[in-house]
Structure 1
C-alpha cells in the first residue's frame, strides 16, 4: 500500500509541474533533421522547386489532362476524403462549443392534493406554475477545454492534408495507368509491324522454296517466328483492357465509357528534360503525408496536455432565473421572481489509477505519432532518391536502346539481303528478326518505365498539388 501511494504521489508531482504548459506544443518532439542535399546529384535535376500545380501538363498530352480533370471531380476516394474534412470540421465545432455556457428552459404547472386521513391536517389542494432559465458554464482555468480544441484543430488540419495526399495519389495513379496503357498500345503496334515484316519474309522463303533454291525448312522456320510474334497480341490486348478498367474506376466511370475515349492509339509522351527537385529540407515539408504526420503529433501533444489538465479542479458557474407562483395570473409579478447563483469547484483528485493511465495512454500515443513522423520523413527521402535514380538511369537506358534498335534494323536488312543472294543462311535472318522485336519492345518498355519513374518522382516530391479546402 505504501509503495502504491508513493508512486501515485510522484505521478501527481510530475503531472502538476510546469511541463503541463510545454506539452501543448508538439514541435518540441520533432527532432528528425531533414537532409540538405539529395543522394542523386546530376544535370538531370535542378535545385528549384517543382511546378506547384498540374505537373502532368509537362507531358503535353491534352487527353491525359482531361482524364485527370474528370478523376478529380468524380473519384469516390477524393469525395470520401472531402467527407472526412467535413466530419473533422464538425468535431472541431462540437469541441469549441465547450467554451460556451449551456442554457436550458424549464416550465411547468403542478397541482397536488394531500390526504386528510394521514395527518391531523385537513385535506388540501395546492397548485403552482413555474418557468426558469438555467445556465451551466465551465470556466477553463487550467486549459482542459483549450487543449482539446487545439487537438481537434490539428485533426481538422490533418484531414485537409490527407485530402491533398489523396489528390496527389489519384493524379499519379491516373497518369501511371494512362502511361501503362499507351505503352502496351505501342508494344502492340511494334508487334503488328514486326508481323508485317515477318510475313513478308515468309513470302520470300515460299518463293525461294517454289523455285527450288531452299528447302521447306526455311518456310517452316519463318512461319514459326511469325506465329510466335503474333501469339503475343492477345496478352497485350488483355493488358490494355485491364488498364482501361483501372482508369474507369479512378475516374468514377464504367470501363466502356473510358474505352471510347482512349481506344485510338497514341505514342508515348516524349520527356527528357531536367526536373526541378528542390532542397530536401524545404521540399519535404510540402509533402501532404509529412504535413499530416506533423499535425498528428501536434494533436496528440495537445491531448497529452488535456489529460494532464484533468488532474486539476474543474470550476463551474451554475445559475437559474425564473418565476414561480401559485396563481398563474401572478406569474409575472416581481414577487414571483426566483434566481440562483452557484459557483462550484469540483476536484476528483483520486480516481484510482484512471487519471494516471489516461496520461500514460496520451503519452504513448504522442510517442507513436513522433516515431510515425520520423518514419514518414525517412520513407519520403527514400522514395525521392529511388525515383531520381530510376529516372536518371532510365534516360541512359533509352539512349543506349535507341542505338541497339538502329543496329538491329540494319542487321535485319543486311542479313535479308545476303539471304536473298544466297550468301548467308536463313538462321541469320531468324536471329535478326527475333532480336529486332526484342530490342523494339525493350525500347518501348524503357520509355514507359522512364515516364513512370518521373511520375513517381513528382509524387515523391509532394505531387505539386495545392488546393485550399474549407
Structure 2
C-alpha cells in the first residue's frame, strides 16, 4: 500500500508544469519583401541554390579538393569535437532524469567498550551491505528545462559544425579561384611584357637608324619596367592562394597541387547564378540556426534558475543488513530498510536564486538581440554581395569594350607606323593604353570570380535539401 502511494505521488509531482517561459521561435526583424533587390539582373536566377553549390563549376578537380577538405580540415575537426561534447552533455542530463540505483558495502573493525568496568572483549569485524534507489521528482521542471537547454545547445553546436563546413568549402573554392585568377592575370601581364619587349627592340633599331630619338627608347624602356613590375605581386598572390588551399585540405603550405601552379583559366559558371529568395536564404544559413538554438537554450535556462525557488524532492528507498564476523554465522545481524521523500529547499533565503533568474533573463534578451542582428546582417551581406556582383558585371562589360577598342586602335597604328604616319609618342601611348585595358579586364574577371564565392557563402549554401 505504501509503495503504491509513493508511486502515485511521484507520478503526480512529475506531471507538474515546468516553471519559466516556454520557448517560442522568434519572428525576427520584419522583412518587407522576399525578393532580392538585384534579382532583376540577367546574371541572376530565381532558382533555389542547389546543394553542394561548388559543383555548378563543373570542375572535377575542384570537387575533389572540397571533398578532401571536408574530411581532414582542422577547423572541422574542432567543430566536430565540440558537437560530440555537446551530445555527451545531453546524454548526461538524460541519465540524471530517471531512477538512480546505488549499491553500498563496507567492512570495519571494532571493539565494544565496557567503560572500564570489565576487560574489553576482543575486536570483531562488522560487515554492512545494502542497495538503494533514488528518483528526483521534477516538481518545478528543473530537469526538463535543463534537458531542453542541453538539447538546444547541442543543436547550436550542430549548426556551428555546418557553418564550419560551409566556410571551409567556400575557402577552398576561393583559394582555388584566386590561384587561377592570379594565373590568368599573369598570362595577360606576361603577354604585355613580351609585346613591349618586341616594341623596345624595334624602337632600338629605329634609334640606330635615326628614325627615333634616344628619348623614345627611354620611354619604351620605362613602359617595359612598369609592365614587368606587375608580375611579381601576381606571382606572390598565386603562391599565397596555393598555400591557403594546401592548409585547408590538411597539408603543409608547400604541399599544394602542383598542377594549379600553372592554372590560367578562372572557374566560371555556364548559367546565371541561382540565388533563390531571401526566405530560403534565412532558412538555409547555419549561423542563423545556431543563433536561434542559442536563444532557445538561454530561454530554457530561465526555467532552470526559476526552479531554484522551489524545493527539490527526491524519493528514496533502500534495503540492507549489518552483521558481525566471527562466532556464529551472521551473529548480531540487523536488517534495515528505508522509504520516503528527501526534501531540500533554500527558503526563506532566495536572493541568490532570484539574482540568477535575472541573470538568465538578461542573457536570453541578449540572445534574442543577437539573433535579430544575425538576421539583419545576413540580409545585408547577401544584398551587398549580389549588388556588387551585378555592378561588377556592368563594369566588366565596359572594360571589355575599352579593351577591344584599344586593340583595334593598336592594330591600326601598327599599319600606320609602317607608313611612317604615326609618331613614336603616339605609338607608345597606344601601347600603354592597350596594356592597361588588358590588365583591367583580367583584374575585373578575378573580381567577378571572388564575387561569386562571396555570394554562395552569403546564401549559406551547403547540404540543405534542394527544395529549400
Establish whether TM, by shorter chain, passes 0.5.
yes
After the TM superposition, which of the residue ranges 172-181 and 416-425 deviates more from structure 2?
416-425
| Counterpart in the other structure of 2:46 | 47
Is 1:233 aligned with 2:234? no
Normalized against structure 2, the TM-score is what?
A: 0.89
Structure 2 residue corresponding to 1:379, chosen from 377, 380, 390: 377
Q: What is the CA distance between 1:272 and its match in structure 2?
A: 6.1
The verdict on how the C-alpha distance between 1:251 and 1:322 changes in structure 2, with shifts beyond 3 A counting, is same
Structure 1 residue corresponding to 2:338, chosen from 337, 340, 365: 340
Structure 2 Cα separation of the partners of residues 246 and 129 of structure 1:
68
| Counterpart in the other structure of 1:24 | 22
Q: What is the CA distance between 1:90 and its match in structure 2?
A: 1.0
Tell me if the contact between 1:321 and 1:338 (Cα under 8 Å) persists in the aligned partners: yes
Tell me if the contact between 2:20 and 2:306 (Cα under 8 Å) persists in the aligned partners: no
The verdict on how the C-alpha distance between 1:25 and 1:329 changes in structure 2, with shifts beyond 3 A counting, is farther
Structure 2 Cα separation of the partners of residues 247 and 137 of structure 1:
54
Tell me if the contact between 1:26 and 1:297 (Cα under 8 Å) persists in the aligned partners: no
| Counterpart in the other structure of 1:123 | 120
| Counterpart in the other structure of 1:436 | 434
Structure 2 Cα separation of the partners of residues 319 and 207 of structure 1:
109
Tell me if the contact between 1:23 and 1:301 (Cα under 8 Å) persists in the aligned partners: yes
Gaps of 5+ in 1: 1-17
Q: What is the CA distance between 1:309 and its match in structure 2?
A: 1.7
Structure 1 residue corresponding to 2:72, chosen from 74, 82, 85: 74
The verdict on how the C-alpha distance between 1:423 and 1:332 changes in structure 2, with shifts beyond 3 A counting, is farther
| Counterpart in the other structure of 2:7 | none
The verdict on how the C-alpha distance between 1:219 and 1:142 changes in structure 2, with shifts beyond 3 A counting, is same
| Counterpart in the other structure of 2:312 | 314
The verdict on how the C-alpha distance between 1:276 and 1:236 changes in structure 2, with shifts beyond 3 A counting, is closer
Q: What is the CA distance between 1:422 and its match in structure 2?
A: 1.7
Structure 2 residue corresponding to 1:266, chosen from 264, 279, 285: 264
| Counterpart in the other structure of 1:8 | none
| Counterpart in the other structure of 2:203 | 205
After the TM superposition, which of the residue ranges 136-145 and 252-261 deviates more from structure 2?
252-261
The verdict on how the C-alpha distance between 1:114 and 1:332 changes in structure 2, with shifts beyond 3 A counting, is closer
Tell me if the contact between 2:132 and 2:317 (Cα under 8 Å) persists in the aligned partners: yes
After the TM superposition, which of the residue ranges 128-137 and 448-457 deviates more from structure 2?
128-137
Post-superposition CA distance 1:407-458 (Å, at most 9, x none)? 1111112223322322111112211121112111111111111121111111
Post-superposition CA distance 1:48-101 (Å, at most 9, x none)? 32102x211112222222221221111100111100111101111111121123
Structure 2 Cα separation of the partners of residues 187 and 76 of structure 1:
31
The verdict on how the C-alpha distance between 1:80 and 1:352 changes in structure 2, with shifts beyond 3 A counting, is same
The verdict on how the C-alpha distance between 1:329 and 1:405 changes in structure 2, with shifts beyond 3 A counting, is farther
**Paired residues for 1:146-295 under 5 Å:** 146-271=144-269, 273-295=271-293
**Paired residues for 1:321-470 under 5 Å:** 321-327=319-325, 336-466=334-464
Structure 1 Cα separation of the partners of residues 138 and 314 of structure 2:
9
**Paired residues for 1:80-99 under 5 Å:** 80-99=78-97
Structure 2 residue corresponding to 1:113, chosen from 86, 98, 111: 111
Structure 2 Cα separation of the partners of residues 442 and 465 of structure 1:
36
Structure 2 Cα separation of the partners of residues 420 and 331 of structure 1:
126
Structure 2 Cα separation of the partners of residues 87 and 306 of structure 1:
21
Structure 2 Cα separation of the partners of residues 450 and 353 of structure 1:
60
After the TM superposition, which of the residue ranges 361-370 and 395-404 deviates more from structure 2?
395-404
Is 1:38 aligned with 2:52? no
Q: What is the CA distance between 1:319 and its match in structure 2?
A: 2.2
Post-superposition CA distance 1:138-183 (Å, at most 9, x none)? 1112210010011000010110100010111111111112212211
After the TM superposition, which of the residue ranges 456-465 and 320-329 deviates more from structure 2?
320-329
The verdict on how the C-alpha distance between 1:330 and 1:93 changes in structure 2, with shifts beyond 3 A counting, is farther
CA RMSD of aligned residues (A): 2.4
Q: What is the CA distance between 1:122 and its match in structure 2?
A: 4.8
Structure 2 Cα separation of the partners of residues 351 and 331 of structure 1:
52
Gaps of 5+ in 2: 1-15
Q: What is the CA distance between 1:375 and its match in structure 2?
A: 0.2
Pairs aligned (count): 447
Q: Which runs of structure 1 show a deviation greater than 6 angstroms over 4 or more consecutive aligned residues?
A: 328-333
Tell me if the contact between 2:48 and 2:275 (Cα under 8 Å) persists in the aligned partners: yes
Structure 2 Cα separation of the partners of residues 104 and 20 of structure 1:
28
The verdict on how the C-alpha distance between 1:336 and 1:265 changes in structure 2, with shifts beyond 3 A counting, is same
